Amino acid sequence: MASQIPMVDYLVLDGDSAHLEANECTACGALFFDRRNACAACGKREFRRKRLSNDGLVRTFTIVQRAAPGVPAPFAGAVIDLDGGGKVKANIVGVDPTPENIKLGMPVTLTTFVAGTDDNGIEAVAFGYRPV
């Protein structure tokens, strides 16, 4: 099996239990996916890693039919409200991207897929959410 790396560093592959991790402000609990200088909510500067739930609800979505150059369409982009806190942007996968198949408030769970392979055969693994 080819070796794999996550497409973004807030996706932790961890064998069969892939999940997301965020930087959580130790003072106010605000969650961020990027490298931090300080907290945008309270200004404090200490963070800890927090494992986020793989389950959540579709907070909003769009179905992109005319995509940016080089990006395959259609696809369903969404923002997911994760159980226990955190919001994340990802695609809805596992169903045809149509308004009939995707509903606001629909329960979804995290799944992973290979998004690309480099010249050394390394696979980049991405995540999406499928209806449950």
Contacts of 94-99 spanning 24+ positions with Cβ under 8 A: 94/128, 94/130, 94/131, 95/130, 95/131, 97/63, 98/63, 99/63
**Two tokens, residue 73:** 């369409």
Stretch in the footprint of another protein (CB under 8 A) among 12-20, 44-52, 66-74: 66-74
Least CB distance to another protein at residue 52 (A): 12
Stretch of 13-21, 46-54, 124-132 lying at the interface with another protein (CB under 8 A): 124-132
CB atoms within 10 A of CB 127: 23
Cα torsion 21, 90, 113, 30 to 10°: value is: 0
Q: How far apart are CA 107 and CA 129, in angstroms?
A: 9
Cβ distance to another protein smaller for residue 19 or 87: 87
* Min separation Cβ 60 and another protein, Å: 4
Question: Looking at 18, 27, 30, 95, which residue binds another protein (CB under 8 A)?
Answer: 30
Q: Which residues bind another protein (CB under 8 A)?
A: 5-10, 30-35, 40-41, 59-73, 75, 77-79, 86-91, 99, 104-105, 115-116, 118-120, 122, 124, 126-127
